[in-house]
A and B are shown apart, each in its own frame.
Chain A
Amino acid sequence: MTALRRAGRSPRLPSPLLTAAAALVAAACALPLAYLLVRAASGGSAAWSVLARPQTAETVARTVALVTAVTLGATTVGGTLAWLVERTDLPLRRMWAVAAALPLAIPSYVAALALLATLGPGGALSRAVPGAGAVDITGFPGAGLALILSTYPYVYLLTAAALRRADPALEEAARGLGRSVRAVLFRVTLPLARPALGAGALLAALYALSDFGVVSLMRFDALTRVIFQQYRTLFDRTPAAVLGLVLVVLTVIVLVLEARARGRAASRAASTASRPAPPQALGRWRPVAVAFCAVVVGLALVLPLGVLGFWTLRGAAGAGLSAEVVTPAVNSLAVSLGAGAVATVAALPVALLVVRDPRALTRGLERLAYAANALPGVVIALALVFFAARYAGAVYGTLAVLMFAYLVRFLPQALSGARTALLAVSPQLEEVARALGRGPRSAFAAVTLPLAAPGLLAGAAIVFLSTMKELPATLLLRPIGFDTLATEVWTATSVSAYSRAAPAALLLVAVAAPIVLHLTARPDRHSRRGAEGLGAG
């Protein structure tokens, strides 16, 4: 009887081959963090002395201050914009709705470039106005402002989508119960939007924590910049590894804080609105609201585009339109297309496993793959530099390592795309195909794959976009002489060569804009994935 009771493997369970492929991908993703731990631990007492240095505490304090300021700023700006657009009689709401999301197409270091070119030392303002020579936005204000302008769209998109989904009857019921407009805003609308605000705040915080481009251009010594400098200037790599781990710890703290704050709130946003909410009259506050929107969109969108346009034209007038930008553009396109394809192919087995066989083991694999998402690019790049130099000298400094870094960093984006796409395909369809005589592989190819293709492509597009914008890993891992649009913008801006930086930056924005527009056009379906997916700086 026991022999009879031996449960056969259900035909729905994935093959061992699939499991092995998924495990391999997950292991690859965990490699950098694991190696960083080993590397720091082998530093021994030297590692401890790095931690004990007063500069380390100062750097951490600076970083925490920046992250706090950016999170608060982005949440306030993004949340206010979402409320104005979704719940009030703000003039030109549709236009503001699109314009408020569009800065997603502008990498944060390009936003920093725009601020530097106008308000930086030797920028447009100090040259145009004689008395303003002392204007200098570098440091904390510049870094904070550039990061807020780059991250508020995440909060805006998530909150706007949540407000759109929230049933306006709730707010009407509160009015009917005798509450004032203000009371409804604070006691009903805000709590409804809280999960979305929280998710947006988390994205903003992680972005600010892991950002390298802005803080390096603004010469603000946050952890990422210090790590980069330590790595570049010191022969001993232990300090960089130890500081990298500190960055990881801060990331984990942010994640834990967010999970705590979210609590049970996430389930509240489940209601769906059957009709749009009637707009709230702004009354005499209308001009103030319009001015607010104009300032935000002006700084986040119009200023960068204006600065880029100005410097591109000026550069083109000086020397013929730079052939210098062609090679980086080709390089960027090539690695981004490659990363999009590689990440999507790698994500497929993991997503398939998670969707088809949601056991604890497979969920663990998935978490492992996602863990890398929170790892700052600097940390991933650093770990891979150490690892490749030590164990894989042959590939050190080649495109292979760079592609691997992109894979680790952006796999979660491809994964969430693949997962959503596969979840939308009912397993029954594949079963029907099986019953109609197709083998498992043929059933997958004839039914599931074509149906999941649009979602897989969307995931690939997000990885493509993220790779185009990626800066720190590219800087650290690129082969010698291999320039991309991102490195070109960063290098040129570092030396205030704006006319060289502008065409490359403009190209980046031009490539990103249609993808961002597409992903935000149907905000309810895409915003969460889109907003999370677009985060890379």
Chain B
Amino acid sequence: MSVCLRGVAKAFGTTEAVREVDLDIGRGELFTVLGPSGCGKTTLLRLVAGFERPSAGEVRVGDRLVAADGAWIPPERRRIGMVFQDYALFPHLSVERNVAFGLSRRERRREGRGGAAPKARAALELVGLQHKAERLPHELSGGERQRVALARALAPEPELVLLDEPFSSLDATLRADLRREVELILREAEATAVLVTHDQEEALSLADRLAVMRAGRVVQTGAPEEVYARPADRWAAGFLGEVNVVSGVRRGDRAVETWLGSFDARGVAAGVGGASAAAGSVHVAVRPEHLALRVDRLGNAEIVDREFRGHDVLYRLRHEVGGTVLVQLSSLELFEVGERVHVRPARAAVASVVD
């Protein structure tokens, strides 16, 4: 089921949590909304779910107008599955009864094998927890609770599932595994999913497409690769990961010449950069891994700090022209602090004009 937001705004008193948001989420898509805490992303999700009513604008789910001025469909009639940050499992009900909660009375009464409603059983099997059907939520581990919450949301076969920071209560090692697992489950269920998170890695690795939010507005939408490599503005660039912002001059409509070298700057998302595109001087954002190093006693930079991170290494360089530059390389080959190096754009390096 597709989701479509047009000019959606939500104010709580004088605070505007969501301002003029337009979004189109395609059928079957795994869509992520990424933003720092307090950016309005959870409010956006709650507006789609029907727990909040927009102050302005309209929300469409599938072909139904669910919220607009004069139109309102309450959450219980939207057929949307919801997974909360701390799972919100009903503590007084067994796993199976939690999962069966959203089924109609008729579906619940129809008993399959093992005495459970077939749909509840199927949902439990989907998340691999059929053997814990009789447990109470407090007897489960964090990861299991998460999967029960997902099964409960999926059991009534909704066409849209909303997930609010679903992995943030789990510890780091569990998180990565469960992330992949949840992605597979969602794809198997063929549901459209909207996931809200503040974790860049999570958003980038899970999403088909993502939206970056800041202060109630959507700053940028696009595929993860695109949003990461070509952020729309300086803030988005910094929020998605480490970045070098360097000044340069446009050469034609696809290249930017900077003191670090020449970068491919095609297809830059609209933004401040677009307006000044014709004018010569611009700033571009370059990811640290889009730069390469070579030991060169007469090179243009010196390594001042090395942060070893296991699979990769982040170097801090003092460049003879432009000051500090971050470079990220694989840990295969190590450079020493104090070494003189030559820094240049890596092969296929891209940059994004940010202002």
A and B found bound together: yes
CB atoms of A437 and B74 under 8 A apart: no
Q: Which of A6-14, A44-52, A210-218 contacts B (4 or more CB under 8 A)?
A: A6-14
- Give the residue name and chain of the B residue nearest to A446 (CB): B101
Give Cα A3–Cα B11 distance, bound, in whole angstroms.
Answer: 15
Which A-B residue pairs are the 8 nearest by beta carbons? A436-B102, A8-B53, A435-B82, A428-B88, A434-B75, A4-B56, A432-B88, A437-B76
Give Cα A447–Cα B88 distance, bound, in whole angstroms.
Answer: 11
Give Cα A450–Cα B55 distance, bound, in whole angstroms.
Answer: 34
Q: Chain B contacts of A439 at CB under 8 A?
A: 74, 76
CB atoms of B75 and A11 under 8 A apart: yes
Report B233 CB to chain A, min CB distance, Å. 28
Supposing A8-B72, A10-B52, A11-B53 touch, asked if A437 and B79 sit within 8 A by C-beta, the answer is: yes
Q: Chain A contacts of B75 at CB under 8 A?
A: 11, 431, 434-435
Give Cα A361–Cα B91 distance, bound, in whole angstroms.
Answer: 32
A259 at the interface (CB under 8 A from B): no
Number of interface residues of B (CB under 8 A): 34
Report A432 CB to chain B, min CB distance, Å. 5
Supposing A432-B82, A432-B88, A433-B101 touch, asked if A438 and B76 sit within 8 A by C-beta, the answer is: yes
Q: Chain B contacts of A429 at CB under 8 A?
A: 88, 90
Please list 11 pairs of residues, one from A and one from B, whose beta carbons are closer than 8 Å in the complex, sorted by A's number. Answer: A4-B57, A428-B88, A431-B51, A432-B82, A434-B74, A435-B50, A435-B75, A435-B78, A435-B81, A436-B76, A437-B79
- Most B C-beta atoms less than 10 A away, residue of A1, A6, A7: A7
Q: Chain B contacts of A447 at CB under 8 A?
A: 90
CB atoms of B53 and A10 under 8 A apart: yes
- Give the interface residue-count category, chain A: 20 to 34
Q: Which of A402-435 contact B (CB under 8 A)?
A: 426, 428-429, 431-435
A5 at the interface (CB under 8 A from B): yes
Report B43 CB to chain A, min CB distance, Å. 11
* Of A1, A435, A443, the contact of B80 (CB 8 Å cutoff): A435
A451 at the interface (CB under 8 A from B): yes
B156 at the interface (CB under 8 A from A): yes
Q: Chain A contacts of B72 at CB under 8 A?
A: 8
- Give the residue name and chain of the A residue nearest to B102 (CB): A436
- Most B C-beta atoms less than 10 A away, residue of A1, A3, A4, A443: A4
CB atoms of A428 and B53 under 8 A apart: no
Give Cα A436–Cα B78 distance, bound, in whole angstroms.
Answer: 9
Q: Mark B135-147, 1 if CB is under 8 A from A, else 0.
A: 0000000000000
Chief secondary structure at chain B's binding surface: loop
Q: Chain B contacts of A8 at CB under 8 A?
A: 53-55, 72
B84 at the interface (CB under 8 A from A): yes
CB atoms of B102 and A3 under 8 A apart: no
Q: Mark A334-350, 1 if CB is under 8 A from B, else 0.
A: 00000000000000000
CB atoms of A7 and B55 under 8 A apart: yes
B307 at the interface (CB under 8 A from A): no
Q: Chain B contacts of A4 at CB under 8 A?
A: 56-57, 69
Number of A-B pairs whose CB atoms are under 8 Å? 89
- Most B C-beta atoms less than 10 A away, residue of A1, A10, A436, A439: A436
Supposing A431-B51, A435-B82, A451-B91 touch, asked if A7 and B76 sit within 8 A by C-beta, the answer is: no
* Of B9, B52, B53, B92, the contact of A451 (CB 8 Å cutoff): B92
Q: Chain A contacts of B92 at CB under 8 A?
A: 450-451
Give Cα A239–Cα B188 distance, bound, in whole angstroms.
Answer: 80
Known: A4-B56, A447-B90. 17 other contacts (CB 8 A): A4-B69, A5-B55, A11-B50, A428-B84, A431-B75, A432-B84, A432-B90, A433-B90, A434-B74, A435-B49, A435-B78, A435-B82, A436-B76, A437-B79, A437-B102, A450-B92, A451-B90
Q: Mark B66-106, 1 if CB is under 8 A from A, else 0.
A: 00010010111111111010101011100000000110100
Give Cα A10–Cα B102 distance, bound, in whole angstroms.
Answer: 22
Report A434 CB to chain B, min CB distance, Å. 4
- Most A C-beta atoms less than 10 A away, residue of B11, B55, B76: B76
- Give the residue name and chain of the A residue nearest to B78 (CB): A435
Supposing A426-B88, A428-B88, A432-B88 touch, asked if A12 and B51 sit within 8 A by C-beta, the answer is: yes
CB atoms of B56 and A5 under 8 A apart: yes
Q: Chain B contacts of A426 at CB under 8 A?
A: 86, 88
B316 at the interface (CB under 8 A from A): no
CB atoms of A11 and B74 under 8 A apart: yes
Q: Mark B152-166, 1 if CB is under 8 A from A, else 0.
A: 110010000000000
Give Cα A217–Cα B88 distance, bound, in whole angstroms.
Answer: 55
Q: Chain A contacts of B79 at CB under 8 A?
A: 437
Report A425 CB to chain B, min CB distance, Å. 9
CB atoms of A431 and B88 under 8 A apart: yes
CB atoms of A3 and B69 under 8 A apart: yes
Report B284 CB to chain A, min CB distance, Å. 38
Q: Chain B contacts of A446 at CB under 8 A?
A: 101
Report A96 CB to chain B, min CB distance, Å. 35
Q: Chain B contacts of A443 at CB under 8 A?
A: 76
Report B184 CB to chain A, min CB distance, Å. 23
- Give the residue name and chain of the B residue nearest to A12 (CB): B51
CB atoms of B101 and A434 under 8 A apart: no
Supposing A3-B69, A426-B88 touch, asked if A434 and B56 sit within 8 A by C-beta, the answer is: no
CB atoms of A436 and B53 under 8 A apart: no
Q: Which of B35-50 contact A (CB under 8 A)?
A: 49-50
Give Cα A450–Cα B91 distance, bound, in whole angstroms.
Answer: 10
Give Cα A437–Cα B73 distance, bound, in whole angstroms.
Answer: 12
CB atoms of B76 and A435 under 8 A apart: yes
Give Cα A426–Cα B137 distance, bound, in whole angstroms.
Answer: 15
- Give the residue name and chain of the A residue nearest to B72 (CB): A8
Give Cα A429–Cα B74 distance, bound, in whole angstroms.
Answer: 16
Report A216 CB to chain B, min CB distance, Å. 47
CB atoms of A431 and B11 under 8 A apart: no
Q: Chain A contacts of B55 at CB under 8 A?
A: 5, 7-8
Give Cα A367–Cα B77 distance, bound, in whole angstroms.
Answer: 37
Q: Which of B112-130 contact A (CB under 8 A)?
A: none
* Of B11, B81, B102, B153, the contact of A7 (CB 8 Å cutoff): B11
Q: Chain B contacts of A10 at CB under 8 A?
A: 51-53
Q: Chain A contacts of B49 at CB under 8 A?
A: 431, 435
Report B296 CB to chain A, min CB distance, Å. 57
Q: Chain A contacts of B80 at CB under 8 A?
A: 435
Give Cα A4–Cα B50 distance, bound, in whole angstroms.
Answer: 17
